[in-house]
Amino acid sequence: MKKRKISLFVVVFAVIFAACCGAAIWGSLRITSETSRMRPDDSGEVVPSVFAVRHDYVNSWFIKGKDGWIAVDTGVETKKLIGQMRALSIDPSSVKALLLTHTDYDHAGAVKALPGASLFIGEAEEQMVNGKTARMFFTRNSPLPLHSLLADGEQLTLAGLPVTAYHIPGHTPGSTAYLIGDGFLFVGDEMSILDGRMGPFNAFFNMDSAQALRSQSKLRAIPGVKAVFTSHYGHSLDPSRLFSPAP
């Protein structure tokens, strides 16, 4: 009887282990497939005073202000971020503020590269970094250093530039877009861009795709937008076309 119990335990363990391995392999292949569709901008100055830094399939952004820089997201690797910033003549110590569109690892993984920057996230995103809400399956986003929470519509001045935060939940509960300076809108993972028009983001990565689509309507209503910058699908200098329905 004891041997049977041991054998049953071994079988159950083997089945669970195989299922976990299979799920991990499937997840890895799916992530690779989804990220291969993404088209971020190459590193460099995209428009005057706005610089892209490319980390494989994701962009972080740097906006030159009147008395320093504003960063939007960081990418994954600290050393890679610092290296590319220096290649673009951006001194990490001159970055005054870091705005996270959300806290997934490919957007917040290199926050240590900018220790002198004031760190901001949308107030509804706090649940993603304090352990209350799981990101996907059993995974959770990593905690952040000291940071401030921004309410929907909150306005502030950073590096001498006006900034307005807009909560656009869906990809994560606290995903936030930022209108910076003279009409530059940074939207994170809220959309894809196909043939110059806004499309849905990869549903596999969204926590609530239906809500994300509703948030796109909110983006259309933001006044004064002159250019839109995504994290994975490049940018648009023609918001009227971007936000218009496909024919």
CB 234 within 8 A of CB 39: yes
Tokens standing for residue 91 = 């001194």
Instruction: Give 36-92 pLDDT, tens digit per residue.
Output: 789 999 999 999 999 999 999 999 999 999 999 999 999 999 999 999 999 999 999
Q: What is the pLDDT of residue 19?
A: 47
Query: Residues near 109 by Cβ (< 8 Å), separated by ≥ 6?
Result: 74, 75, 76, 77, 78, 142
User: How far apart, in whole angstroms, are the C-alpha atoms of residue 141 and residue 124?
Assistant: 14
Centre a 10 Å sphere on the Cβ of residue 32 and count the other Cβ atoms it contains: 10
pLDDT at 221 over 90: yes
CATH number for the domain whose boundaries are 37-242? 3.60.15.10
**Distance, CA of 56 to CA of 33 (rounded, Å):** 14
In this predicted structure, the answer to whether residue 27 has a pLDDT above a threshold of 80 is: no
pTM: 0.89
Q: Where are the domains of the chain?
A: 37-242
**Mean pLDDT calculated for residue range 89-106:** 97
Three-state DSSP state, 149: strand
Q: Which of 31-40, 153-162, 189-198 shows the lowest per-residue confidence on average (mean pLDDT)?
A: 31-40
Among the listed residues 70, 99, 45, the one whose alpha carbon sits nearest the alpha carbon of residue 159: 70
Q: What is the predicted pLDDT for the residue at 20?
A: 43
